């Protein structure tokens, strides 16, 4: 199926210009909004193409967006004011600002005629979509689709081992001495100290959101229908993926929760895009009563 796609740009409430593409056929009321993960963007990966075809083929729109955290590092243009641009990307983004990015995308989609939305997050996009709905409680969002919602806090703790606590303390010191945005330290991989703390310190929402050994309070407060999908060969799993789904279901207060394991798939669902997209669209149509 050939897609009718159009590149778009939109402006956040703090004047950052972001980009994406919209795919649709006719003038559907419902639209899925895809939020990429760390180092990702609105156009990379076969999964985006597969989701776009599935949603458009099912009579909905599909909008894939950049957040200000797109790619490892990026230059973000400003819509107005004396400052013309600022640095962004995964290394430097402030996770909480993703609420502004998704909100800007929804407002732009409304100007295109869409009224109901499904937020699809992949990897860290899961945290962003979930945090958005936790904060905004948007009545226009009919469902959350979480593709591989990994435990960033647990992953960092495992990766750093005995050095984890010391690394967190060091990054806190950098933050206090205004060195929080420095990049290149071996101790935090590609992250700046401030960005590292966002995923490695439970004082931060991003670290807590899918810390499966924690209460999952933010996730658990959301009433919106939620679907969580994992690949059976998830590279970043710290426990069997079926257990992840069981924990999410137990913690969820959603009026409709579904979990699915895509057998054979990994974190990016490569090679299983059609099966993943089919599951996602099926749940979205159920949540939208289509």
DSSP letter string, 239-265: S-HHHHHHHHHHH---SSEEEEEETT-
Q: What is d(CA 150, CA 140) in angstroms, rounded to the nearest whole number?
A: 26
What interhelical angle do 98-111 and 124-136 show, nearest 10?
80
Contacts of 124 (CB under 8 A, 6+ apart): 37, 38, 69, 150, 152, 206
Quote the crossing angle between the two packed helices 152-160 and 164-176, to the nearest 10°: 110
Tell me: do 31 and 109 sit in the same domain. yes
Domain end: 209, 225, 254, which one? 209
Each residue of 99-133: pLDDT tens digit? 999 999 999 999 999 999 999 999 999 999 999 99
91 and 36 within one domain: yes
Shared-domain flag, residues 167 and 192 = yes
**pLDDT score of 4:** 82
Q: How many domains does the chain have?
A: 2
- CATH code of 147's domain: 3.40.50.1820
Q: What percent of the chain has pLDDT over 70?
A: 96
- Angle at which helix 193-200 crosses helix 152-160, to 10 degrees, equals 110
Question: Could you list the residue range(s) of the whole structural domain that residue 269 is in?
Answer: 5-151+214-288
- What are the distances in angstroms from CA 216 to CA 132, 219, 229, 261? 15, 5, 17, 20
Same domain, residue pair 108 and 21: yes
Residues 31 and 115 in one domain: yes
Examine the domain organization and report whether 185 and 132 are in the same domain: no
Q: What is the pLDDT of residues 64-112, one digit of tens each?
A: 999 999 998 899 999 987 688 888 899 889 999 999 999 999 999 999 9
127 and 266 in a single domain? The answer is yes
The Cα–Cα gap between 254 and 257 comes to 6
């Amino acid at each position: 199926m050939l897609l009718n796609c159009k590149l778009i740009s939109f402006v956040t409430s703090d004047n950052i210009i972001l980009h994406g593409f919209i795919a649709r056929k006719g003038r559907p009321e419902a639209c899925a909004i895809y939020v990429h993960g760390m180092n990702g963007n609105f156009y990379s990966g076969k999964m985006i193409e597969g989701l776009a075809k599935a949603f458009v083929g099912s009579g909905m729109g599909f909008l894939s967006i950049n957040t200000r955290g797109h790619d490892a590092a990026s230059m973000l243009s400003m819509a107005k004011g004396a400052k013309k641009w600022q640095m962004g990307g995964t290394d430097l983004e402030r996770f909480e600002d993703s609420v502004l990015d998704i909100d800007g995308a929804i407002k732009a989609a409304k100007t295109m005629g869409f009224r109901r939305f499904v937020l699809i997050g992949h990897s860290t996009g899961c945290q962003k979509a979930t945090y958005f709905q936790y904060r905004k409680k948007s009545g226009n969002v009919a469902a959350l689709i979480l593709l591989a919602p990994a435990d960033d806090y647990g992953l960092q703790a495992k990766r750093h081992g005995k050095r984890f606590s010391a690394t967190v303390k060091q990054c806190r010191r950098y933050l206090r001495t205004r060195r929080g945005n420095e990049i290149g330290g071996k101790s935090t991989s590609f992250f700046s100290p401030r960005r590292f703390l966002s995923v490695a310190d439970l004082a931060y929402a991003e670290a807590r959101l899918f810390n499966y050994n924690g209460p999952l309070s933010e996730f658990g407060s959301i009433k919106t229908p939620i679907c969580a999908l994992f690949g059976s060969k998830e590279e970043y799993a710290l426990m069997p993926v079926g257990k992840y789904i069981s924990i999410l279901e137990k913690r969820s207060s959603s009026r409709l929760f579904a979990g699915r394991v895509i057998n054979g798939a990994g974190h990016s669902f490569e090679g299983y895009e059609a099966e993943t997209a089919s599951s996602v669209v099926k749940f979205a149509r159920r949540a939208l009563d289509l």
